[in-house]
Amino acid sequence: MKRLQRTFFFVLLILLVIYASLALTGNGHILEGIPQTYFRGVNKPDIDDLPFSDVREIPVGEAQAWPKSSAYNRFKLSDELLEKHEKYESTAFLIIENDSLLFEQYWGQGGVDVLSNSFSMAKSFTAMSIGVAVDQGLLKTSDPVGNYLPRFKQGLNAELSIKELLQMSSGINFGESYTNPFGYQAKSYYNDDLIGLTKDYLVSKTPGTFWEYQGGNTVILSELLEKETGVRLSHYFGENIWSKIGAEHAAYWGLDDADGMEKAFSAVYATARDFARIGQLYLNDGQWKGTQILSPAFIQESIQPCDAPDKDGLPANHYGYQWWLGEFEGDKIFMCIGMRGQYIICQPSKSRVVVRLGHTRPETKVDRLPEDLFWWLGAELTPQ
């Protein structure tokens, strides 16, 4: 019995030492992250982590059900595509065509009313909020960031513009790995003080000369926007966008702490049908049922490719203002992308929006974009 007690107290002492060490070294976020990841059998956040998250509600306005196409769900997926959906644990797949719901299917935990984590699709939503502020005359994308945040007033920092944050060409070295528990991205997802974490990251390369995808840029955009507007990002996005596009369900934006700052780079929880509205808004040049939500000028500006070279020396023509860009069968496409294969894909030539949500995706890429997004966009529907 005494041996058991000694073992118990020894293990407890080790745990206390680990806890204190992590807290004192600024890595307390690991204690937050472990129950949400490794204890659940995953090594990074998953789409169903809403119950673990501090969130702020994004209320609906006037709810509008999607009109259904005359051919709604009179199709089935090819066996090959169905096998891919199942292999990569899709939870939702939707096709909107000509402003109407043409096809939808759900798997596993998915469903019409089920909320799912957007992950980095949220970056696109943050950029859209910047677009609203531009349209309202509150700022310009050419403005120096130092006009709004004093720590960017000197040296290379003074050369940084809002546009370069939007294009991920800021020259700030954040890092973008969720699986590295000591990196910026993992810290930012589980940290309880995003501004405190981000404030020491400053420009180290001439802005506009190098493209690197990093969520810290989006955090600075959110900080800047909140300072200029005086309201939280989710409130601003909700008031100016979400409440005006007919969303049927309230969405939620993950926070760094209770009543804290939004994780601008991630963690918007919504349904597949409501995510599709974002794509339709962009497809319609910022208009929703006769009301202009975002200006066509900003929409078009936001889907122009960034010219800054990436690590391979290639111009980042696959990226705009936190929207991804590409081509499919000769058509230009633009999309929001989340790390586990969350997609809102817009194909203007077919007046089509494709939404796919799920737990995993393949690691392979085509033209610097995830290979699977081309599977979902090229879905073959067989009449049934």
345: closest CA among 382, 381, 373?
A: 373
16 pLDDT more than 50: no
Which of helix, strand or coil describes residue 56?
A: strand
Q: State the DSSP H helix or E strand holding residue 374, giving kind and residue range, or none if neither.
A: helix 371-377
218 pLDDT more than 70: yes
pLDDT of residue 177: 54
Residue 65: count of CB within 10 angstroms of its CB: 9
Average pLDDT over residues 176-182: 59
The per-residue pLDDT of the chain, averaged, comes to 90
Which CATH code fits 50-383? 3.40.710.10
132 phi/psi in degrees, rounded to 5: -60, -45
Q: How far apart are CA 187 and CA 254, in angstroms?
A: 14
Which residues have C-beta within 8 Å of that of residue 56, sequence separation ≥ 6?
232, 234, 235, 252, 253, 255, 259, 262
271 pLDDT more than 90: yes
Q: State the DSSP H helix or E strand holding residue 17, giving kind and residue range, or none if neither.
A: helix 2-24
20 pLDDT more than 50: no
State the DSSP string of 201-234.
--B-S-TTS-----THHHHHHHHHHHHHHSS-HH
Q: State the DSSP H helix or E strand holding residue 298, giving kind and residue range, or none if neither.
A: helix 296-302
Q: How far apart are CA 44 and CA 117, in angstroms?
A: 13
Give the model confidence (pLDDT) of 168-177 as tens digits: 999 999 975 5
Give the model confidence (pLDDT) of 43-60 as tens digits: 457 899 999 889 999 999
What single DSSP character describes residue 325?
E
Q: Which two tokens stand for residue 329?
A: 């069968």
Residue located via tokens 């049922």: 289
Residue ranges matching CATH 3.40.710.10 in the chain: 50-383
140: closest CA among 228, 50, 268?
A: 228
CB 219 within 8 A of CB 249: no
Q: Which is more confidently placed, 31 or 6?
A: 6
Q: Which two tokens stand for residue 154?
A: 């000197």
Q: State the DSSP H helix or E strand holding residue 2, giving kind and residue range, or none if neither.
A: helix 2-24
Q: How confident is the model at residue 189 (pLDDT cuts 50, 70, 90)?
A: confident
pTM score, two decimals? 0.89
19 pLDDT more than 90: no
86 phi/psi in degrees, rounded to 5: -70, -40
Q: How confident is the model at residue 4 (pLDDT cuts 50, 70, 90)?
A: low
